[in-house]
């Protein structure tokens, strides 16, 4: 599958071939070692090996253990791509490259947590981050998938479920894929755009602003002649992670968010997502087949079924 940025000689896309067994998708470990360990335990319980796990970037961000989390993810052997934070640390940039509006609360808070990460991540891990691919491609059930961090064309683009269909269409066109798997925005969702799908696995390191301390990952699995997308909530020792953030002097708002499930700033959110603040997410599995049909999916035998019911805002298949 050709790269959407083939003209950029520095762009690195890694193809991992055909995957015909369930794949675990996660992103935004954010220096939250406790959440990453809980996710790896869940992968072990499911019997999914590292070669079928993909992290969508930003292994380091808000939380207290940037080096330990990056080293644990690297040692796990899972696939991973660069997020904006890996780019910034790998190139020794002065800011996180998150795409926050200048002068916003998110921008001001990022200066504090990025300084903590910059002080604790050493040369070896920076080199590993710099060498990660920018994107990953694979096929499943005859469908082509591309894994990106934010957007297909911009690593720090915020792509939320409520955005106009034209934005998704342009990104999917650039991806030259049937499925795009993304991260960065911090809220899990699956949205069908015609016969194609945009899927955000959510973040491991920070709750989804839904008023619960849960974090999220997802499962992609072949189902008949299509692909099944399932969002999975994850409980972990958030109290320990929060205490470590407080001890490290990191921003109190993000530390509290680990237990309240509420972000300290909503400046990046569109109106729809802002209005859903504090409402627990409960996305249903979605199935998309080769004929372009997308809709609710019956639980597959190879994947543990979701116990939650769907909540569907306008313009989104699930949120």
Alpha-carbon gap, residue 287 to 114, rounded angstroms: 38
DSSP E strands in 76-152: the ranges are 79-80, 135-140, 143-147
Pairing, β 13-18 against β 294-296: unpaired
Count Cα atoms within 13 angstroms, Cβ side, for 44: 7
Q: 222 Cβ partners below 8 Å, 6+ apart?
A: 20, 21, 140, 141, 228
Residues 193-222 pLDDT 10s? 999 999 999 999 999 999 999 999 999 999
**Domains, the chain, ordered by start:** 13-296 (3.60.21.10)
Q: What is the pLDDT of residue 309?
A: 29
Question: Which tokens sit at 152?
Answer: 């297909």
C-alpha R_g of the chain: 18
d(CA 306, CA 261): 20
pLDDT tens digits in sequence order for the chain, 319 residues long: 545 544 344 689 999 999 999 999 999 999 999 999 999 999 999 999 999 999 999 999 999 999 999 999 999 999 999 999 999 999 888 778 887 777 766 667 777 889 999 999 999 999 999 999 999 999 999 999 999 999 999 999 999 999 999 999 999 999 999 999 999 999 999 999 999 999 999 999 999 999 999 999 999 999 988 999 999 999 999 999 999 999 999 999 999 999 999 999 999 999 999 999 999 999 999 998 766 555 555 433 322 222 222 344 433 334 3
**Pair 182, 151: CB distance under 8 Å:** yes
Give the number of residues written for the chain: 319
CA of 94: how far to CAs of 69, 87, 267, 269, in Å? Answer: 21, 11, 22, 25
For residues 53 and 49, what is the distance between their CA atoms, to the nearest angstrom?
7
CB 60 within 8 A of CB 27: no
Measure the CA–CA gap between 154 and 167, rounded to whole angstroms: 13
Nearest to 154 by CA among 199, 97, 196, 108: 97
DSSP assignment of 202-228 equals --SSS--SSSSS-EEEEEEEEETTEEE
| d(C-alpha 16, C-alpha 52), whole Å | 10
Q: Which two tokens stand for residue 201?
A: 């696995």
pLDDT of residue 1: 56
Contact 36, 30 (CB under 8 A): no
Residue of 30, 18, 12, 106 lying closest to 72 (CA atoms): 30
How high is the pLDDT of residue 134? 98
pLDDT of the residue at 293: 56
| pLDDT score recorded for residue 79 | 98
Angle (nearest 5°) at CA 9 between 5 and 14? 65
Query: How would DSSP label each residue in 60-78?
Result: SSSSS-HHHHHHHHHHHT-
Look up the pTM and report it.
0.89
Strands 23-26 and 215-223: antiparallel
């Amino acid at each position: 599958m050709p790269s959407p940025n083939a003209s950029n000689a520095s762009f690195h896309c890694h193809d991992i071939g055909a995957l015909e067994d369930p794949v675990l998708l996660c992103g935004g470990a954010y220096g939250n070692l406790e959440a990453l360990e809980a996710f790896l335990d869940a992968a072990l319980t499911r019997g999914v090996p590292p070669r079928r796990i993909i992290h969508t970037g930003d292994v380091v961000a808000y939380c207290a253990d940037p080096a330990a989390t990056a080293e644990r993810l690297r040692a796990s052997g899972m696939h991973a791509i660069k997020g904006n934070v890996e780019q910034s640390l790998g190139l020794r940039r002065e800011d996180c490259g998150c795409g926050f509006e200048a002068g916003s609360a998110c921008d001001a808070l990022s200066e504090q947590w990025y300084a903590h990460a910059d002080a604790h991540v050493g040369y070896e891990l920076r080199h590993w981050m710099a060498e990660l691919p920018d994107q990953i491609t694979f096929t499943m059930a005859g469908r082509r998938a591309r894994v990106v961090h934010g957007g297909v064309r911009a690593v720090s683009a915020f792509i939320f479920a409520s955005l106009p269909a034209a934005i998704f269409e342009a990104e999917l066109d650039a991806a030259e894929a049937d499925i795009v798997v993304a991260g960065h925005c911090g809220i899990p969702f699956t949205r069908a755009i015609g016969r194609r799908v945009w899927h955000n696995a959510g973040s491991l390191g920070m709750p989804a602003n839904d008023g619960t301390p849960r974090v999220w990952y997802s499962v992609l699995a072949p189902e008949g002649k299509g692909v099944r997308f399932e969002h999975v909530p994850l409980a972990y020792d958030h109290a320990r992670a929060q205490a470590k953030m407080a001890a490290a002097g990191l921003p109190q708002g993000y530390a509290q968010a680990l237990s309240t499930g509420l972000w300290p700033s909503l400046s990046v959110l569109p109106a729809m997502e802002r209005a859903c603040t504090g409402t627990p997410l409960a996305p249903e599995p979605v199935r998309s087949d080769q004929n372009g049909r997308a809709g609710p999916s019956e639980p597959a035998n190879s994947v543990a079924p979701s116990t939650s019911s769907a909540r569907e805002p306008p313009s989104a298949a699930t949120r």
